[in-house]
């Protein structure tokens, strides 16, 4: 497994991009300058979990239905969080629709 500029194996750094959602993605995107695998996962984490966080926050203000939709978004985020961490640790560049394409272009 290739090393990153942080000294971590790229699969471990890829997993860590997702650990704290968009926050850890942002940290790794800012500190990792060379490794395209890590930068891809960092950017995908920022996009996916940033959008889900904002959607949940905004929709949470709507009485009743907003709370239900926000709860469903949280379940989706949990499932994606687990899948993306596993795929990154396995060394796979698992692309989600839209977010993965955007991350790949800008990584």
The per-residue pLDDT for 73 is: 95
pLDDT digits (tens, 9 = 90+) for 28-67: 999 999 999 999 999 999 999 999 999 999 998 999 999 9
Q: Is the pLDDT of residue 1 over 80?
A: no
The per-residue pLDDT for 6 is: 87
Q: What is the pTM of this model?
A: 0.92
**Cβ contacts of 30-38, under 8 Å, gap ≥ 24:** 31/5, 31/6, 32/4, 32/5, 32/6, 33/5, 34/4, 34/5, 35/2, 35/4, 35/5, 35/10, 36/107, 37/2, 37/10, 37/91, 37/93, 38/4, 38/10, 38/13, 38/14
The per-residue pLDDT for 74 is: 95
């Amino acid at each position: 497994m290739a090393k990153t500029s942080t000294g971590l194996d790229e699969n471990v750094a890829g997993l860590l991009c997702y650990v704290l959602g968009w926050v850890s993605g942002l940290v790794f995107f800012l500190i990792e300058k060379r490794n395209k695998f890590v930068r891809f996962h960092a950017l995908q984490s920022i996009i996916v979990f940033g959008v889900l966080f904002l959607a949940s926050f905004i929709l949470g203000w709507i009485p009743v239905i907003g709370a239900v939709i926000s709860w469903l978004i949280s379940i989706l985020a949990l499932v994606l969080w687990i899948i993306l961490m596993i795929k990154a640790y396995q060394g796979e560049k698992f692309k989600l629709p839209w977010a993965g394409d955007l991350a790949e272009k800008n990584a």
